[in-house]
Amino acid sequence: MSQAAALPEVIKQIERVDPAVVKQAAAYASSILADVAGRRGALSGRIAALSPSMRVAGPAITVELRPGDNLMIHVALAIAQPGDVIVVDGKGDLTSALMGEIMCQQAAALGIAGVVIDGAVRDGEAIRELGFPMYAAGLNPNGPTKSVAGRVNHPISIGGVSVNPGDLVVGDADGITVIERNKAAAMLPLAAEKLAAETKRIADIKSRKALRPGWLDGALRAAGVIKEGESL
């Protein structure tokens, strides 16, 4: 029997990314973190915040379920801790909503940091008014079934990205970036450097000190667009 087959369908205890790392990472844009993580952790742009003002950061509680059935999300809500982000592989199905206002009210009361769903939700206006961070692939007024087993806190794939329980999840108006738990701390100094460089670049543009990026000619030569010794 494989190790995966021996695991229970619901894993209650997981290792989470350090809360101090979450707090520091929350200060950075998802784009900064995606860049320093090798541009590999950003979920598909079809999974977006219901409101551009929504932001989220925390360790992942992963959920795998059958399309249109939210039984395992209720399980995740029952075992999640305050500050967790529930990340749901809903198979991209938009025919039925997997969550709505009632479950978001419950999640907010439990201290859940937010929810990310590759699937549909409903009660969009009410969720926006609540201000609960919800990222989803779309909206649909149909309700879900609650009868099909799935998995909680197993590795999942969502929006083209692999997510493991306890991984760092950070989201803003641009979308969601996921960084592996054991690599998250190492990304923070890189994010600080990246932010400083971008802040300087913007300042140089505004002051007209450098309107063209310094790397451009080198990249054009490497791509064969211009010859050695040439410039734009």
- Phi and psi (nearest 5°) for 14? -135, 160
Q: Kindly list the domain boundaries of the chain, sorted by start residue.
A: 3-186, 189-222
Confidence (pTM): 0.93
* pLDDT for res 96: 97
Protein fold of 3-186: Glucose Oxidase; domain 1 (3.50.30)
Question: Does the pLDDT of residue 1 top 50, yes or no?
Answer: no
Name which of 54, 59, 56, 61 is nearest 19 in CA terms.
59
* pLDDT for res 4: 55
Question: Does the pLDDT of residue 57 top 80, yes or no?
Answer: yes
Q: Encode pLDDT of 122-155 as tens digits.
A: 999 999 999 999 999 999 999 999 999 999 999 9
How many beta carbons lie within 10 A of that of residue 98, not counting itself?
A: 27
Q: Encode pLDDT of 10-29 as tens digits.
A: 999 999 999 999 999 999 99
Q: Tell me the mean pLDDT in the region 73-78.
A: 98
Question: Does the pLDDT of residue 229 top 70, yes or no?
Answer: yes
Q: Encode pLDDT of 180-203 as tens digits.
A: 999 999 999 999 999 999 999 999
Burial class (CB in 10 A: 0-12, 13-18, 19+), 177: buried
Cα distance between residue 51 and residue 40, in whole Å:
24
Q: Tell me the mean pLDDT in the region 57-80.
A: 98
pLDDT tier for residue 232 given thresholds of 50, 70 and 90: confident
